[in-house]
Structure 1
Amino acid sequence: MTAVSASPTARGRTYDDLVARALEGALGPDPRTQRIAVAFTTRQAVRHDGRGTGYRNEVLSLRLAEAVGSCAVEPGELPDSALDDCVGADVARLLEHPLAAVRVAALDAYLMHVTPHTPDHGALPVALPAGSSLEKSKARARAVVELLDLPAGGTVLVVGVVNSLLEALRSRRIGYVPCDLKGGVTEWSEPVVADALAAAGGCDALLVSGMTLGNGTFEPLREHALRHGKQLVMFAQTGSAVLPRLLGHGVSAVCAEPYPFFWLDGGPGVVHRYRAAGGGDRRGSSEVGQLHGTSGGVR
């Protein structure tokens, strides 16, 4: 497969830099002219067949024209008033909203509208086959883990414990340190650490959920990866259109999964993979351009 070349899409050095540039109109149309038509939340509880643990998800999503931007939150954390704040509001106003989830979802919707997940923006689509929730979870996990350029015997910090991701790492004989703000244990009774930054020093690479954008833990991890020259691979339902803008500035690769997410439907789906310039796909393709990290529950 031939290499995918990214268009000259404007990027940012930090998340805050992206917000500032968006407010200035440097990333696309004036955000004061872009209004959110629909705001909604998606809540789910799941326990896959054969798994000993379950989890819950709650996601705030905002629709701007054809685009949907999302940010995961802790279940029950988002006040009902947030939806009323968002409907009919312009993006600029929401980028300065007091709730981080609203700010992230608004930026995600805006950037999804401006730079959708298409090859000319650096995205390489990866098909997810139809199947059960567990089958689709495992397929998504393989698409994520293939972005890691780490040999067997290496150790990766997994921020946002998704058991299917851990299973995929185990199959490649890659060690991992599972991390989630809630702590707990994995499907294999391994302890889950709560302090990602403290654990990062002993790991060769970082595999991090986009949910870190919403809870404020992303930037320290990006800075650590940049400072120490480590791979930072993001799996992103939250901020799927935001994180590719940070490629080359600490972010090495992104597996972007915009709404609707794999757990909402049993039919075929797609995720979009990005790599920083110079990164190659393990299966022979090249990608240019460019879970919960956090506290998202043990999956």
Structure 2
Amino acid sequence: MTSATSASPRVTTYDELMARARAGELGPDPAALRIAVAFTTRQAVRHTGRGTGYRNEVLSLRLAEAVGSCAVEPGTLPDSAVEDCVGVDLARLLEHPLLPVRVAALDAYLMHVTPHTPDNGARPVSLPAGTSLEKSRARARAVVELLDLPPGATVLVIGVVNSLLEALRSRGMAYVPCDLKGGATEWDEKVVTDASAEAGRCDALLVSGMTLGNGTFEPLREHALRNGKQLVMFAQTGSAVLPRLLGHGVSAVCAEPYPFFWLDGGPGTLYRYRADGAGGSR
């Protein structure tokens, strides 16, 4: 099987990946490719039976058949960002002053070059139709299954999703919930805000792709690589970006390109990758 990382020049850091994309070393010249459609998706949710809710906002860029996405904190993306991207070539967007635009552009480019197919190392996982909570729980199970840990292990969860915490609890794992917004979990557990202060006492890291868009991903990748820890990414943001870093700190990725599971009640598909090749790319 040809994997997403072995089919092209290997990269070891996000910055190197971005530099090679800008130079056209990973596929077509980005200056020759233009974004046809740019849009944002805004969502507020409180699943039936849950006491807390949350909001999402995602910037997405359409390149031919591919859509690249980057989540942002709701309300932080200027309205002008969408218009800035339409009809603009990828080379310019990969240099855009806003980090979320650069991440979405890179994701669209890599989705265009190496889509989520078996030849590129992806293993599809079907999500059944269902309520928002049913689909959230199914997604969470698919993510948590990528962790190779015994009961009693402690996982640092960055980007708190209650269904992920619930899935960890069902497997007898402890966790430290971490999110820049702070707050509390569904079970009234304190959500810490400083990942670097907590990573050392955890056995593995379960991390949202949103860390690409807020600039906090690389220290986490470096920590996992330096300490030999599993780093599993659940990625709506950068679903085509993170598989390129498998084996360089990232141990597995559950990639979820647009449209995301929370957009409708029908069936969907996730794509899993593993650095060891057991569940995807290597």
| Shared fold, TM over 0.5 | yes
1:129-172 residue CA offsets vs partner (Å, 9 max, x unmatched): 00000000000000000000000010000000000000000000
User: What is the 5 A alignment of 1:205-244?
Assistant: 205-244=204-243
CA contact (8 A) 1:5 1:288 kept: no
Give yes or no for contact 1:5–1:287 (8 Å, CA) kept in 2: no
Offset at 1:112? 0.2
1:289 aligns with 2:281: yes
2:165 matched residue in structure 1 = 166
Q: In the TM superposition, what are the counterparts of 1:4-19 in structure 2 within 5 Å?
A: 5-6=2-3, 8-10=6-8, 11-19=10-18
Q: CA deviation at 1:287?
A: 2.1
1:119 aligned partner: 118
Which string of whole-angstrom CA distances, capped at 9 and with x for unpartnered residues, describes residues 247-281 of structure 1?
000000000000000000100001000000x35xx
Alpha-carbon distance between aligned partners in 2 of 1:9 and 1:259, rounded to the nearest angstrom:
24
Question: Using the alignment, how far apart are the partners of 1:19 and 1:103 within structure 2?
Answer: 9
Local SS of the residue matching 1:191: coil
TM-score by length of 1: 0.92
Deviations 1:154-203 (A, max 9, x none): 00000000000000000000000000001111000110000011100000
Distance 1:179 1:194 in 2: 5
Quick check: 1:52–1:187 contact (8 Å CA) kept in 2? yes
State the 1:5 CA deviation. Answer: 4.9
Write the distance in 2 (CA, Å) between the matches of 1:107 and 1:5.
21
- The count of corresponding residues between Structure 1 and Structure 2 is 280
The aligned amino acid for 2:152 is G
Letter in 2 for 1:252: S
Q: Which amino acid aligns with 1:9?
A: A
- Give the 3-state SS of the residue equivalent to 1:201 in structure 2: helix
Equivalent residues of 2:261, 2:268 under 8 A apart: yes
Q: Distance in 2 between matches of 1:133 and 1:106?
A: 28
Residue 223 of structure 1 aligns to which amino acid in structure 2? E
Contact 1:43 1:59 in 2 (8 A): yes
Q: Which moved more, 1:124-133 or 1:79-88?
A: 79-88
Tell me the SS of whatever aligns to 2:280.
Answer: coil
Alignment correspondent of 1:23: 22
Q: Which runs of 5+ in 2 are unaligned?
A: none
Residue 244 of structure 1 and its aligned partner are, at CA, apart by 0.1
Match of 2:65 in 1: 66
RMSD: 0.9
User: Which string of whole-angstrom CA distances, capped at 9 and with x for unpartnered residues, describes residues 221-240 of structure 1?
Assistant: 00000000000000000000
Number of the residue aligned with 2:85 = 86
The residue correspondences of 1:19-168 to structure 2 (distance < 5 A) are 19-168=18-167
1:202 maps to what in 2? 201
Q: Following the alignment from structure 1 to structure 2, what is the Cα–Cα distance between the partners of residues 57 and 245?
A: 25
Counterpart of 1:6 in structure 2: which amino acid?
S
Q: 1:212, 1:70 → 2: CA distance?
A: 13
Which deviates more, 164-173 or 8-17? 8-17
Deviation at 1:9, TM superposition (A): 2.3
The TM-score, its normalising length taken from structure 2, stands at 0.98
What aligned pairs does 1:175-194 form with structure 2 within 5 A after superposition? Answer: 175-194=174-193
Tell me how far apart the structure 1 counterparts of residues 11 and 182 of structure 2 sit (CA, whole Å). 32
Query: How many Å separate the matches in 2 of 1:211 and 1:194?
Result: 15
Are the equivalent residues in 1 in contact too, given 2:272–2:280 (CA < 8 A)? no
Contact in 2 for aligned 1:59/1:73 (Cα 8 Å):
yes
